[in-house]
Amino acid sequence: MFKLSEIKELIQLVDQSSLQELEIQNENCKLFIRKPSPSKSETVYVASAPQQQVAATPQASPLPQAAAVQAEAESKDGQQPDRSHLHTITSPMVGTFYSAPSPEAPPFVSEGSKVKENTVVCIVEAMKLMNEIEAEVNGEIVEVLVDNGQLVEFGQPLFLVKPI
């Protein structure tokens, strides 16, 4: 099994190299990384067992924006909006996204909320464990990219933050 830090490091190495794809396999795990095409979103597959595949976007928290999946929203002129100045908070695991600590509580953050590095922005539930996700940067939430209760993948963008 690969450690999360090892996977992130491999993604960074592929992003910084001229490689387009990387496939690594050990006795019980297979890892496949593909760079995104400039014209469309790509998918990276991580399999922990031969029969099991979990889709993950190629963007993980400390990765450069070059490896990021381009957002689907388009501006009025049909061009992708420039989001290179925004920080993307991504899911560190596969699980269920919760925007609030309980169904009746208000969301941790919403568009326009000011956050600090240690501000909890959401919870990702994985295997009955509630994992608090922090903002990682000081800034303002520009966009919430997922809905409450939505299943999220490893590395999936959750929030866009304008750093301060």
Give the sheet arrangement for strand 30-34, strand by strand: 21-25, 30-34, 44-49, 52-56
Q: Average pLDDT for residues 113-119, to the nearest whole number?
A: 93
Query: Of 72, 67, 101, which Cα lies nearest the Cα of 84?
Result: 67
Longest Cα–Cα distance in the chain: 50
CA distance linking residue 135 with residue 161, whole number of Å: 8
pTM: 0.52
**3-state SS, residue 16:** helix
32-75 pLDDT per residue, tens? 777 765 544 444 444 444 434 444 444 443 433 333 333 333 44
Domains belonging to the chain, first-starting first, are 1-58 (no CATH), 82-164 (2.40.50.100)
134-151 pLDDT per residue, tens? 998 999 999 999 999 999
28-42 pLDDT per residue, tens? 677 777 776 554 444
Contact 48, 100 (CB under 8 A): no
